[in-house]
Amino acid sequence: MDDHYRFLRPGQTVLDCGAAPGAWSQVLAKRTNANGEQVEKRVGKVMAVDLSPFHPIVGVTSFPLSDFTSPETQKQILETIDSKFDVIVSDMAPKVSGMNSLDHEIIIDLCRKVVRFSECALKPNGTLLMKIFDGGLTKDLEKILVNMFHKVKYVKPDSSRKNSAEIYFLCLKFKIKLSNT
């Protein structure tokens, strides 16, 4: 997605929610130069959190076996950074039950928690990328995001099956802090 929208740059601070097994974190570390491979470029920071275990990744501060939705984990994340995040990525998803409407409700609830966290943790003009399963509550979430960001897009990655309900909200240029989300 970054190949097309170019929202990642060296020197940025990024949070990866739902990071296991770590593929996105590896890409984030490379694009932000958190791994330090590009000596002539600014070095970024990447933090990765997931309920599941995952292997350490060069340049990434990891929180394996951690529940992003818990206030304790969120506090720990905020205490670990010295500023706010330029980008927050959420690839979190529930264990799929096979009941599309239930899975949709659960992932929308996860997204709302990411949105609440981003209100206090995202820099002005920051970016939020979240996976959702499209459904009846998608438009309600979109209304919240449109009030918080200058630009909100639906993105369906090439890697996603055409008949899959999986899509992403790409939210660019964080503008205001809201309440009641």
Instruction: Report, as residue numbers or ranges, the catalytic residues.
Output: 131
Q: Are 41 and 33 in contact (CB under 8 A)?
A: yes
Query: Could you tell me where the DSSP H helices lie in 6-137?
Result: 23-32, 71-80, 100-121
Q: Are strands 60-63 and 85-90 parallel, antiparallel or unpaired?
A: unpaired
| Rounded CA Rg of the chain | 16
User: Going by DSSP bridges, is the β-strand pair 60-63/13-17 parallel, antiparallel, or unpaired?
Assistant: unpaired
Residue 138 to residues 28, 34, 101, 107, Cα–Cα distance (Å): 26, 33, 11, 10
If one counts every other C-beta atom within 10 angstroms of the C-beta of residue 57, the result is: 20
Distance from C-alpha of 33 to C-alpha of 49, rounded to nearest angstrom: 19
Q: For residue 7, give both structure tokens.
A: 């929202």
Instruction: Tokens 């590896």: give the residue.
Output: 26
